[in-house]
Chain A
Amino acid sequence: MEGHATIRDLRLGRKTRKPGAKRGAKNPLRAGLRIERVPDPHVVVLFGATGDLAHRKVVPALFHLWVGNLLPERFALVCFGRRPFSDQEIRSALRASLDKHARITPVDEERWAAFASRITYHQGGFDEPEAYASLSKRLDAIDAESGTGGNRLYYLATPASSFPEIVRGLGAAGLDHEKAEGGWRRIVIEKPFGRDLETAVKLNREVGKVFRESQVYRIDHYLGKETVRNILIFRFGNLIFEPIWHRRYIDHVQITVAESIGVEGRGAFYEETGALRDILQNHLLQLLTLVAMEPPANLEAEALRDEKVKVLRAIRPIPVEKVDESVVRGQYGPGWVGATETPGYRSEPSVDPASETETFVAARLEIDDWRWAGVPFYLRAGKRLPKRATEIAIQFKDVPQRLFPTIGEEPEPNLLVIRIQPDEGILMRFAAKVPGLGIDVRPVNMDFAYGSAFTVESPDAYETLILDALLGDASLFTRADEVEAAWRIVDPIIDAWITGGEPDLPNYTSGTWGPEAADELLTREGRRWRRL
């Protein structure tokens, strides 16, 4: 009867908990403690440990969690990679990267020494079965020596093309099995989750053959950002906004992810991705779901993700033949950004001189539900724009009747801006009387900035998300059906671009706000993009 607990077993607490159940959920001593839980003793197996993502983000995040005492004493990091490295060499390489990428500098050498002593290197190809067999033995040895309890987090910081073979390798070696006597197994997968709906479904199927959905953590680092998490608090922790969060009061919503940088040496990657897949399919649509979702029943992962999926399914599909009316793509040519002359995209290293990859995308979407019917959501993302800025702007409708005389421009309607980066905060714009004898009206801002209201620094998004994965909290991770629902929105756009004629690219100068067609997307409806 292995795997089945009797009533008596359960009553006496002699059987291990059901996988995924929150241990300690009814422990009264837990209540009110600042740190909900330190994760169980565990091993992190980092695939792609010699790569850019591991050095820039994953290992610095793990180190900061260690410094913050948020990792257990019984913790080990096994770096898995193709290249030959000794344990000492990988530690030295990671230490050098911390100087560049650590959030808190200088690096505390004493804490680093303790952290580094837990790092080992395991060489192997992702497609070599023997590499996984030897990894399995090594992990068992670590469990025996270090008391890590069989708990393992597999972190895939590799190109997406390697995901299926790593998952298969882990499955073939039995490294996915959660044992009855304890020992969880979780896998973190970095975006992109596929290149289109078909590949996303295929990838989900490949992953699903080995891991249950509850073991899979698809990471979109935007969801770990403090301000993004604050959207939920802002919307559902305050009474005053919910009544006006409705088509009756909101004219439209703009969501912008602007970068001033180019492809920064990642030309080969970007050639295969583009702004649509890199930003809109995940970051922009995730932000849209948080703005548009209905209140979840609770903050459990499934309740939150159910509501997000409902929004994605309610987004009106854009027919392939009408993509040109609702979506604009762009590619940057040479120009000047921040007083520096910059090359065009086609002149970047590893980029095809005749590339048709988009570095800018803007789209107009509509959500067909009672709350949002008729409210357009304008999304834009691009590289080599004048500045780095990510924000959500909720533009309210105008007052039904203007009572007050104005001088010069008409006062603008109310605006609510959730700034995600930089200078995280929330701005509310409203009309106020200009001091003086007349009744002149001018818009003024109420501006909340995280930096001036709280005395603690925000953790990096990767720290938040990795800790959540270690604790088994999937709230901020993307579920398989969520990924597929997002691709269903994006797929017709990809189809239209593939089947359409040759695009006129490049069509915007570096250091400008994208192609003119992006402006026309709004101006033809009497609106305009916010000046950032």
Chain B
Amino acid sequence: MSLNSILASSLRWSSRATTVAEADALLAKLWASSEARRFLVSDSPTDATAAAPIAVRTGVMNLAVVANGEERAAHAASILATLPRNPSRTLFIVPRDPEGPATFAARLEVFCAVTPRGDGTSACTELLWIDVGGPAAHHLASIVPPLSLHDLPTLLWWDAPINASESDVRQLLRGVDRVIIDGATQPSDGLATVRALFAAAEGAGVAVTDFALLRQGRWRDAIATMFDEESAAPFLAAITTISIDYSAGKGSSASVNVVRPAYHVAWLASRLNATVQTPLQVDEGDGWRAELRDASRHAIAVELRPVDSVLGAGTTIAVRIAADRRGDHFDLEVRADSTSTRAIAKVNGAVVHERTFQAPRWTEAALLSESLEFGEIDPLSPAIIRTMSALIG
């Protein structure tokens, strides 16, 4: 049941609250008895009936969205609307005017749509639009937990620059199961911000889902598949260089966010049991350098190189992996466009394998859908994030 279908649904209810307790009580009352659900109003006059409708709240998850302004909140809602199904309760929180008086205003909405089970039951989802101002904007940890449904996982989508050193953010992390960010949109090179978040999340025992890491999934599929080939597989244990080209964008290279290219290195290192010998450092020329040691303590040189491109700053342009084994030299180069990835493997300069994979660039909706549905069972992220922290240094 998508939000689009829900918004065109047969049953709906709305109200307003000026305190957290009032919002919680209004919603609790709605679900406390079938009598109260008479207040769910049918859009269709022909559906109007004296009997209380059979309506149940979905049992999926809580989602708290911290948005940088109303426009971003509306944007987040529009992305949610494209997903196949929805969280049980979504809080759209817009913190504003932290220097002004403490304010709290919530618009509460419930939308229901008839389920396909054929017994007339409607499944409902709740949307809470929350404006919070003044000192309360610095205490989101006092808002999210009391407005979250019991016994359902709570996800926090921080759709804004995040400062994990703030006490409120650290407190908020303690009350959720997973935090979703986009490392690629964090200020400056992005590395310090994500490192601070990783540390705070680890302290709170919270899983992190980073859109920037998910976006690289199509690259990972292509690289992994190339090493399935028997001509390439032996070189996996003999890698000497990992080199990532990324778009320099239009600004100065120092301000380019390099979280995405760095994730490629973190993934490879974590999968190969490599350790960080020298963390990422700005190269004297341009770009970044680091050094890894593989499981056999052999050095692997890492370079992130900015290149001219029309693509957005920080976008991965090419991933190159070189290896030497028993006198043979191996090169793998992977590139991508909007719809596919293309990989070419060479041994001693001769092409031994070439594949093109259908792999379109991820949309925001796909990233969010992936984060909501599969993030909790993603076995990759924790190891990659640990390695990424070491790589950032």
CA distance A27 to B380 in the complex (A): 15
Chain A residues with CB below 8 A from B56, complex form: 452
- Complex contact A29–B380 (CB within 8 A): no
- Complex contact A28–B360 (CB within 8 A): no
Task: Give the one of A23, A28, A452, A457 with max B CB within 10 A.
Answer: A452
CA distance A159 to B85 in the complex (A): 39
Q: A239: shortest Cβ distance to chain B, in Å?
A: 18
CA distance A66 to B118 in the complex (A): 32
Q: Which of A31-89 contact B (CB under 8 A)?
A: 31-35, 37-38, 41, 66, 69, 71-74
The number of residue pairs between A and B whose CB atoms lie closer than 8 Å in the complex comes to: 113
Indicate which residue in B85, B231, B234, B370 contacts A454 across the interface (CB closer than 8 Å).
Answer: B85
Interface SS majority for chain A: loop
User: Digit string of B372-385 for contact with A (CB within 8 Å is 1, else 0)?
Assistant: 11100011100000
- The answer, yes or no, to whether A453 is at the interface (CB within 8 Å) is yes
Q: B366: shortest Cβ distance to chain A, in Å?
A: 11
- Complex contact B230–A16 (CB within 8 A): yes
* Given A423-B117, A451-B115; A34-B357 close (CB under 8 Å): no
Q: A7: shortest Cβ distance to chain B, in Å?
A: 16
Chain B residues with CB below 8 A from A29, complex form: 220, 223-224, 227, 236, 268, 271
CA distance A72 to B222 in the complex (A): 11
User: Digit string of A2-29 for contact with B (CB within 8 Å is 1, else 0)?
Assistant: 0000000000010011000001101111
- The answer, yes or no, to whether B217 is at the interface (CB within 8 Å) is yes
Chain B residues with CB below 8 A from A452, complex form: 1, 56, 58-60, 85, 115, 123
Indicate which residue in A13, A17, A24 contacts B225 across the interface (CB closer than 8 Å).
Answer: A24
Chain A interface size band reads: 20 to 34
- The answer, yes or no, to whether A30 is at the interface (CB within 8 Å) is yes
Indicate which residue in A30, A33, A72 contacts B357 across the interface (CB closer than 8 Å).
Answer: A72
Indicate which residue in A23, A74, A457 contacts B228 across the interface (CB closer than 8 Å).
Answer: A23
Task: Give the one of B225, B227, B357 with max A CB within 10 A.
Answer: B225
- Complex contact A457–B84 (CB within 8 A): yes
User: Digit string of A426-456 for contact with B (CB within 8 Å is 1, else 0)?
Assistant: 0000000000000000000000010111111
CA distance A483 to B179 in the complex (A): 49
Which residues of B are at the interface with A, using a C-beta cutoff of 8 A?
1, 56, 58-60, 83-86, 115-118, 123, 217, 220-221, 223-225, 227-231, 233-234, 236, 268, 271-273, 340, 355-360, 369-370, 372-374, 378-380
Which residues of A are at the interface with B, using a C-beta cutoff of 8 A?
13, 16-17, 23-24, 26-35, 37-38, 41, 66, 69, 71-74, 422-423, 449, 451-457
User: 28 interchain pairs (CB within 8 A)?
Assistant: A13-B231, A13-B234, A16-B230, A23-B228, A27-B224, A27-B228, A28-B272, A28-B273, A29-B223, A29-B236, A29-B271, A30-B224, A30-B228, A31-B379, A34-B370, A35-B221, A38-B221, A69-B360, A72-B355, A72-B356, A73-B340, A74-B355, A423-B115, A423-B118, A451-B85, A453-B58, A455-B84, A455-B86
